[in-house]
Chains A and B, each alone.
Chain A
Amino acid sequence: MKIGVYTCHCGGNIAGTVDCEAVTEWAGRLDGVEVSREYKFMCSSLGQELIEEDIKEYGLDRVVVASCSPHMHEPTFRNACQRAGLNPYFLEMANIREHASWVHKDRSEATEKAMALTAASVARVRYNEPLFARLSPVNQNTLVVGGGVAGIQAALEIANAGYHVYLVEREPSIGGHMAQLDKTFPTLDCSACILTPRMFEVGNHENITMLTYSEVEEVSGYIGNFEARIRVRARCINQELCTGCGVCEEKCPAKVVDTIFEAGLGRRKAVYRPFPQAVPKFPVIDQDNCIWFQKGKCRACEKFCPTDAIDFEQDDRILEIEVGNIIVATGYDAFDARRISQYGYARYPNVFTALEFERMTNAAGPTEGNVVLRDGETQPDSIAIIHCVGSRDVRYREHCSRVCCMYSLKFAHMVHEKLPNATVYNFYIDIRTPGKDYEEFYHRLLEEGTVFIRGRAASITDATLTPEEEGKLIVTAEDTLVGRQRRIPVDMAILSTGLEPRHDSHEVARIFSISCSREGFFKERHPKLDPIATMTDGVFIAGCAQGPRDIPDTVVQGAAAAARVLSIIGKGEVEIEAAKAEVNDLTCVGCQMCIESCPYSAIEHLEERQKARVIEALCKGCGTCVAACLSKSITLYHFTDQQLVAQMRGAMDALFELVPA
């Protein structure tokens, strides 16, 4: 056996803490090692060539690279082996960066650990067997989950390229948060005017199957070959007959506060379309608030519907679809302002949230675009806008929500436009305007006369001290640029609530086998180089589901996700990992424990022979069945018992040698 060992400095990332020269020299003395070298960047083309040349020159039959996590560069080095004619599975990586240099401070201890990890890989690699990746065809359909602007963009890109898209949206209409907005910063174009054409295009596209009022319940399979089960909730409207005339909505006597689209500022009926430009145009009956469903009388809508389209008997439908790729674009939730009690939301009527204010300034909203107090009539003379509500606060959300500064500036502008005599105060910690034309927009607001007070607002209270404060809300804060406390009496306060992960992001992540980062937003494959893919091949993320961002960035990410999907479809087939489980027919007793344990339902039971069999196309090589099998009949290739035991032995032997007892 001829093994080559290559120790990487990773610039100073490894060499800064680990003595790479010592590791190299030590590894050179290990059993079977033919060459041992170190290099500044093994992943560079020169580093790769080094391996390739050694394989040819020394006739190496195994390669160990001691460097970073296999996550990023295993494919790099496998390819290098393959180019030099070696089966790629004859490569092992020892992770001496994440597992040694980055997590230890003491140089000699880190070096010892690096040696042990390298020795473990050397001991293991001799048992590695040649494996061959399989190619599998790609289903050309795509599932897009979430019909906000991210999902809309992604769906249109793919559909326009000629491939079919299933767009699944939970609410009765697509559009997401952007449909609620009035104007959009920094250009102030009307949100509906730019979004509705896109929504309409989605609704009428021959390549898009739009499933609204629907949710994905289960996904199985793997890249190129997913199966998804979708629940299409009963709208109680016969879509064949409904013309979208809206008579039902007009006649329905049940009125409720609309906490979704109107953000609580307005009301809707039990049968409703969230907004006039909704796509699709069909209303839904909200069964929780419908008098017929709750009390067994009414049916007013049915009486008045001119086309007999109301169908109280409708049931949820379950749809099974097959797709090759999935894009998850489920967006964000707005922070619940009630959690910060000192701002008095839900206590003082004239404290509003940002989304409420969006609806208020919207000409199609509950106040027809008039900026008024909670009484619905009085115009405010003074307005305070409080930045960072729920953001930049370790007790709530540590992150900066990225859009609040800009939309707060937008709000100030809207007030100046609608109420030229009103005074607008912005309470901020830092004004963050990183975007094209964003800083210019801030300057414009300075010129328009917005009052900026640098200090996180401490509280909003109705406790007044002077006659001038009487009847007002008082915002208290330190004006940090002056170094003194200030009390600013206002008629209205707007809380610029941050963007947080969807309340159900963890459950949704589980359905698609992806994970969440600490905050709860979906975790990308790499924060810089791959913010679109996830650790599950074939599942991509786009928009605020991955982290807070504005509309331009959301659209870019939606399009980028589509491009990734199109490149997979274009390729036509995908390589399937060769590390698969296999059942030994001779010892299998047919107990079916493995079948229950497999998270991918990749094991079947052969009735006539009373044996288990792994369906190769479905197996992900996770190894759960290996642990579950009582008769030790399952082998996971590339993770055989022999390989793992050798690896542990290698590490232990090295430690006995390195660390004196």
Chain B
Amino acid sequence: MKYAYYPGCSAESSASAYDATSQMVAAALGLELEEIKDWNCCGATEYFSIDSLPAYALVARNLALAGRQGTSEVIAPCSACYVNLKKVDERMGDYPQLNSDVNEALAAGNLSYTPGSVRARHLLDVICNEVGCDAVSEKVVRPLAGLTLVPYYGCYIGRPEGGFDDVENPQTLDRLLKGLGATVPDYSLKSSCCGGHMTQIGTEVALGILRGLIDLAAKLGADAMVVACPMCQLNLDVYQNQLNSHFGTTYRMPIVYFTQMMALALGMEAAELKFEEGLVPAGPMLEKWQAAEASPQPRKKKSKKALPMPEPLDGGDSG
């Protein structure tokens, strides 16, 4: 299937590794991506705070352009872009007045958009639910055996209006990484916030949040944290040094994109996957992987007195 592709502003600078590996992985899985021509910024979380109608119009321009290219689904790798595209489309459908206001604004640029005509999809959603985790795992040539990877989804995978996974305990990335052969612990902060723009406004708050996230991953023995959003990557990676000096900690936790890890498992060369763009070096993780041999996990013995554990509800309460 052909998809419109919305790279998002960070693709050109801070997250070019994500953009590059997203395209490589998509090609390997047979997903046809066509970049929206002359797309503009989605406004991140800033525009809605200052003025809401222009914020809607800003996003709607991209949807209108995607529609004009003849696609009915647009893939965004960045979670914030994904949420903005989805929110604007859905709200325009829910509120007729908003729809006509936004279209009146678009008309000033000779554009129009019909709500519901272009569906926003997160790259992770398309890979796990269209291609399928099983299909991906069949394509794995170099399993990520020996690596413990902590999946970190951030806020926007299931929020605000229930995306493609459970709001509180999403599973898609867990399943994907397991399918790549990695050991994936249950990371209870998986959908917590990374602090967003607080790193730039109230650094103190944000550093505390980031420390908690990295600390739990480290306790679980993670070789790296795997993310699906440039904002998460930026906060966790770029501010890691600062938080170490602030709290006197010594974390060296590589923060990598899920597309980088997929590309690795699908057999692409590590040297081409821009791991060096991370401020925290991913080298030790890669070396460990190359040296590792799959070793079975030791099983914990349960005491005789232990009470039965309830069965989990499969798939969470996402629908």
Among A265, A346, A349, A463, contact of B216 (Cβ-Cβ < 8 Å): A463
CA of A372 to CA of B303 in the docked complex: distance in angstroms? Answer: 14
Residues of A within 8 A of B192 (CB): 463
* Complex contact A346–B309 (CB within 8 A): yes
* Complex contact B313–A346 (CB within 8 A): yes
* Complex contact B188–A461 (CB within 8 A): yes
Q: Is B212 an interface residue (CB 8 A)?
A: yes
* Complex contact A338–B303 (CB within 8 A): no
Q: Is A185 an interface residue (CB 8 A)?
A: no
Q: Is B168 an interface residue (CB 8 A)?
A: yes
* Complex contact A347–B307 (CB within 8 A): no
* Complex contact A463–B188 (CB within 8 A): yes
CA of A371 to CA of B303 in the docked complex: distance in angstroms? Answer: 17
Contacts A341-B168, A344-B188; A377 near B305 (Cβ below 8 A):
yes
Residues of A within 8 A of B277 (CB): none
Residues of A within 8 A of B168 (CB): 340-342
Residues of B within 8 A of A372 (CB): 307
Among A264, A339, A367, contact of B310 (Cβ-Cβ < 8 Å): A264
Kindly provide the distance from the CB of B28 to the nearest chain A CB, expressed in whole angstroms.
33
- In residues 148-202 of chain B, which contact A (Cβ within 8 Å)? 166-169, 186, 188-189, 192
Among A338, A347, A375, A464, contact of B306 (Cβ-Cβ < 8 Å): A375
CA of A349 to CA of B169 in the docked complex: distance in angstroms? Answer: 16
Number of chain A interface residues as a range: 20 to 34
How many residues on the B side are at the interface (Cβ–Cβ under 8 A)? Answer: 25
Residues of A within 8 A of B167 (CB): 341
Q: Is B317 an interface residue (CB 8 A)?
A: yes
* Complex contact B308–A345 (CB within 8 A): no
* Complex contact B308–A346 (CB within 8 A): no
- In residues 212-231 of chain B, which contact A (Cβ within 8 Å)? 212, 215-216
* Complex contact B309–A374 (CB within 8 A): yes
Among A341, A346, A367, contact of B307 (Cβ-Cβ < 8 Å): A367
**Contact flags (1/0) for A332-367 with B, using CB distance below 8 Å?**
000010111110111101000000000000000011
CA of A341 to CA of B316 in the docked complex: distance in angstroms? Answer: 7
CA of A517 to CA of B144 in the docked complex: distance in angstroms? Answer: 53
Contacts between chains A and B (CB distance < 8 A), count: 68
Nearest A residue (CB) for B305: A376
Residues of A within 8 A of B304 (CB): 376
**Contact flags (1/0) for B290-319 with A, using CB distance below 8 Å?**
000000000000011111111111001100
- In residues 257-315 of chain B, which contact A (Cβ within 8 Å)? 303-313
Kindly provide the distance from the CB of B68 to the nearest chain A CB, expressed in whole angstroms.
38
Residues of A within 8 A of B306 (CB): 374-376
Mostly helix, strand, loop or mixed at chain B's interface?
loop
**Contact flags (1/0) for A359-395 with B, using CB distance below 8 Å?**
0000000110000101111000000000000000000
**Contact flags (1/0) for A453-466 with B, using CB distance below 8 Å?**
00000000111110
* Complex contact A376–B303 (CB within 8 A): yes
CA of A150 to CA of B296 in the docked complex: distance in angstroms? Answer: 55
Q: Is A503 an interface residue (CB 8 A)?
A: no
* Complex contact B303–A346 (CB within 8 A): no
* Complex contact A341–B308 (CB within 8 A): no
Residues of A within 8 A of B310 (CB): 264, 338, 345-346
- In residues 247-277 of chain A, which contact B (Cβ within 8 Å)? 257, 264-267
Among B212, B215, B303, B308, contact of A257 (Cβ-Cβ < 8 Å): B308
* Complex contact B212–A463 (CB within 8 A): yes
Residues of B within 8 A of A465 (CB): 211-212, 215
Nearest B residue (CB) for A267: B308
Kindly provide the distance from the CB of A460 to the nearest chain B CB, expressed in whole angstroms.
9
Among B215, B305, B309, B317, contact of A349 (Cβ-Cβ < 8 Å): B309
Residues of A within 8 A of B311 (CB): 346
Among B186, B216, B303, B317, contact of A340 (Cβ-Cβ < 8 Å): B317
CA of A305 to CA of B21 in the docked complex: distance in angstroms? Answer: 69
CA of A461 to CA of B215 in the docked complex: distance in angstroms? Answer: 14
* Complex contact B308–A347 (CB within 8 A): no
Most interface-central of B166, B186, B212, B313 (chain A CB within 10 A): B313
Kindly provide the distance from the CB of B280 to the nearest chain A CB, expressed in whole angstroms.
21
* Complex contact A347–B186 (CB within 8 A): yes
**Contact flags (1/0) for A414-430 with B, using CB distance below 8 Å?**
00000000000000000
Among B189, B215, B305, B312, contact of A338 (Cβ-Cβ < 8 Å): B312
- In residues 32-74 of chain B, which contact A (Cβ within 8 Å)? none
CA of A339 to CA of B169 in the docked complex: distance in angstroms? Answer: 11
CA of A336 to CA of B309 in the docked complex: distance in angstroms? Answer: 15
CA of A346 to CA of B312 in the docked complex: distance in angstroms? Answer: 5
Nearest A residue (CB) for B302: A375
Kindly provide the distance from the CB of A457 to the nearest chain B CB, expressed in whole angstroms.
13
Residues of B within 8 A of A267 (CB): 308
Kindly provide the distance from the CB of B225 to the nearest chain A CB, expressed in whole angstroms.
14
Contacts A375-B303, A462-B188, A463-B188; A341 near B317 (Cβ below 8 A):
yes
* Complex contact B307–A336 (CB within 8 A): no
* Complex contact B313–A338 (CB within 8 A): yes
CA of A463 to CA of B214 in the docked complex: distance in angstroms? Answer: 10
Residues of B within 8 A of A375 (CB): 303, 305-307
Residues of B within 8 A of A463 (CB): 188-189, 192, 212, 215-216
**Contact flags (1/0) for A542-569 with B, using CB distance below 8 Å?**
0000000000000000000000000000
* Complex contact A339–B313 (CB within 8 A): yes
Contacts A347-B169, A347-B312; A461 near B189 (Cβ below 8 A):
yes
CA of A291 to CA of B265 in the docked complex: distance in angstroms? Answer: 44
Residues of A within 8 A of B307 (CB): 265-266, 366-367, 372, 374-376
CA of A264 to CA of B310 in the docked complex: distance in angstroms? Answer: 7
Kindly provide the distance from the CB of A503 to the nearest chain B CB, expressed in whole angstroms.
14
* Complex contact A347–B188 (CB within 8 A): yes
Nearest A residue (CB) for B166: A341
Kindly provide the distance from the CB of A25 to the nearest chain B CB, expressed in whole angstroms.
43
Contacts A461-B188, A463-B189, A463-B212; A339 near B305 (Cβ below 8 A):
no
Kindly provide the distance from the CB of B126 to the nearest chain A CB, expressed in whole angstroms.
24
Nearest A residue (CB) for B309: A349
Kindly provide the distance from the CB of A62 to the nearest chain B CB, expressed in whole angstroms.
50
* Complex contact A339–B188 (CB within 8 A): no
Residues of B within 8 A of A342 (CB): 168-169
CA of A341 to CA of B313 in the docked complex: distance in angstroms? Answer: 9
Residues of A within 8 A of B188 (CB): 344, 347, 461-463
Residues of B within 8 A of A347 (CB): 169, 186, 188, 312
CA of A266 to CA of B307 in the docked complex: distance in angstroms? Answer: 7
CA of A342 to CA of B191 in the docked complex: distance in angstroms? Answer: 10
Among B308, B309, B312, contact of A266 (Cβ-Cβ < 8 Å): B308
CA of A349 to CA of B302 in the docked complex: distance in angstroms? Answer: 13
Nearest B residue (CB) for A474: B188
Kindly provide the distance from the CB of A500 to the nearest chain B CB, expressed in whole angstroms.
14
Residues of B within 8 A of A376 (CB): 303-307
Kindly provide the distance from the CB of A645 to the nearest chain B CB, expressed in whole angstroms.
41
Nearest B residue (CB) for A342: B168
Most interface-central of A265, A341, A342, A376 (chain B CB within 10 A): A341
CA of A346 to CA of B308 in the docked complex: distance in angstroms? Answer: 10
Most interface-central of B189, B306, B308, B311 (chain A CB within 10 A): B308
Contacts A265-B308, A461-B188, A464-B215 known; 6 new A-B pairs at CB < 8 A: A339-B317, A341-B316, A342-B169, A344-B188, A375-B303, A462-B188
Selected A-B contacts with CB under 8 Å, 6 pairs:
A257-B308, A341-B169, A346-B310, A347-B188, A374-B309, A463-B189
Instruction: Give 5 closest A-B pairs by Cβ, nearest first.
Output: A376-B305, A338-B313, A341-B168, A341-B169, A346-B310
